[in-house]
A and B are shown apart, each in its own frame.
Chain A
């Protein structure tokens, strides 16, 4: 049955299960655990930057290790596994199949994540989440760096296995009466994101092997003294990880597509334009990777090509925003907690996208590149859009997972605090970047502008941190002691609006 915590079972029955909802639960719990661990590092970073000089972290190396592991953990151990958790719960239901296509492979893909997480956290590498040579090849201290490389290798295999599973489940196991165009947009988002993973990830897998052999001294792929080129690594890296941004954001948009029509009590404005925009995004995600590299000495032509490629991704994203607004337009909207997170996420998605357009303009990039602008910009995506969508969706899934309701008031307080905190941290960081503060710095010059803006950002981060603790307490308490949910209509939307339960138990 689907309601794991509703009917308690011994934990090993969940751990050794290959059922899609059990693996979905494992993914969800693991990713949320890493979210809190990575979040703790973020608070440490913000506390250190509250004032110039040394605050709570006594040496810069520890600080460098903290932001490296924060970034790696949040992307690879929180956002990606969380999306896989949602996909495991919902994709089989949405294509009306009993399980994922390859249940054992599914379990294998999940169980690669805890050891990889252990390698990342125990190693605590310092070379930033993109590990650029020559630093990562010749200077980064081992064994931390090598542990990070092995962890990435494991995570890459895990996401490719998971992606193959989603693609086969959707394309080959869907109910024969269900045409592909009628599959809910959440499942479409997993199809698009999984196809991107299968095309993009092997490139970085190759770069990792080259980086490892460079570190061992047996090759010189990225060492100019031995005929290599460090820029080659950056191309290989961004060929994987620019599309990876879309791998993260597309499922989050899919989650919003699940929530927004239900809480607006209206059908989606246009299913076909949603599908079109997903397919567009997964294609154009491959046209813009080198916009991360304008300042590495690229020619004018290269810069122009990648600027156009970057701008090409915008119309499809804008179509999603339009679709959301048109769906809400004239609807009887109920601002329950999941809806608030989704709407907040869309607003921040729009802001992040607008910043991205500005950023892609070549002359402007030379002001913002590698400054705090970039930190603010991509956090508006990863935190403001993707984490907001994910957290909202976890509220939405909560009755489905536990059979109980979370506390609605505290859910709303959680959203309001997180939204205010996110605006305080990341909008301020944009401005900080325009003033020229570089990213990844342990200390900064005591200019009054720097100090004020860093303090606003640090206070905002503490507000987010507090709200996340409220969330954790709400989740744990409500899972055991919350009110029993009305499984047909947990939010009182007045119709058959709770998709997963009704799909699984059609007699309702």
Chain B
């Protein structure tokens, strides 16, 4: 209490605040770069419904459960849902955005590796939520 000095605690709190400020500034700086899609990104519409994903390319072709795209291009996903909320997730490329009823959410990425990557739903959406999966196929 008042009987002794508290200066070690204030130094400690100061160090904690400096660390937090560093984390916050770093996060702000990175998020600023990834938040907005580049203008040339190709739009792919993503529609979630219980319990599968539908993809619509810019030229109007539709795919269900599988998404074929090309390496080295930027893509912007416009995500929505036909029923309940879902979350569109390609974990290997850190693509994650909720599919919210009545809204179109955007997220973008530019794949730099060819191959197959799992697509999954990350928001609980009922009976077969665990099995609401798809495949991203990145072609050369």
Binding site for B on A (CB under 8 A): 60-61, 64, 126-128, 132, 134-135, 138-140, 223-225, 228-231, 267, 269-273, 295-297, 300, 303-304, 307-308, 311, 314-315, 318-319, 322-323, 326, 357-358, 360-364, 366-367, 369-371, 435-436, 438-445
B contact face: mostly helix, strand, loop, or mixed: mixed
Asked if A134 and B127 sit within 8 Å, CB to CB, the answer is no
Q: Chain A contacts of B127 at CB under 8 A? A: 60-61, 64
Complex Cα–Cα for A89 and B59 (A): 69
Asked if A369 and B122 sit within 8 Å, CB to CB, the answer is yes
Which B86-108 residues have a C-beta within 8 angstroms of A? 87, 89, 91-92, 94, 96-98, 100-103, 105-106
Q: Chain B contacts of A223 at CB under 8 A? A: 101
Question: Can you list, as one digit per residue, whether each of B99-128 has a CB less than 8 Å from chain A (1) or not (0)?
Answer: 011110110000000000010111111111
The residue that A132 contacts in the complex, of B2, B26, B32, B85, with Cβ under 8 A, is B85
Asked if A362 and B28 sit within 8 Å, CB to CB, the answer is yes
Measured CB to CB, the nearest residue on chain B to A329 is B8
Q: Chain B contacts of A445 at CB under 8 A? A: 118, 133
Q: Chain A contacts of B2 at CB under 8 A? A: 272
Asked if B9 and A295 sit within 8 Å, CB to CB, the answer is no
Complex Cα–Cα for A366 and B87 (A): 11
Q: Chain A contacts of B96 at CB under 8 A? A: 295, 366-367, 369-370
Binding site for A on B (CB under 8 A): 1-2, 6, 8-9, 12-13, 16-17, 19-20, 23-24, 26-28, 30-32, 34-36, 50, 83-85, 87, 89, 91-92, 94, 96-98, 100-103, 105-106, 118, 120-131, 133
Asked if B84 and A138 sit within 8 Å, CB to CB, the answer is yes
Q: Chain B contacts of A138 at CB under 8 A? A: 83-84
Q: Chain B contacts of A225 at CB under 8 A? A: 102
Assuming the contacts A271-B1, A307-B24, asked whether A367 and B16 have C-beta atoms less than 8 A apart, the reply is: no
B96 to chain A, nearest CB (A): 5
B19 to chain A, nearest CB (A): 8
Asked if B27 and A370 sit within 8 Å, CB to CB, the answer is no
Q: Chain B contacts of A326 at CB under 8 A? A: 8-9
Asked if B27 and A307 sit within 8 Å, CB to CB, the answer is yes
Assuming the contacts A229-B102, A230-B101, A363-B34, asked whether A270 and B89 have C-beta atoms less than 8 A apart, the reply is: no
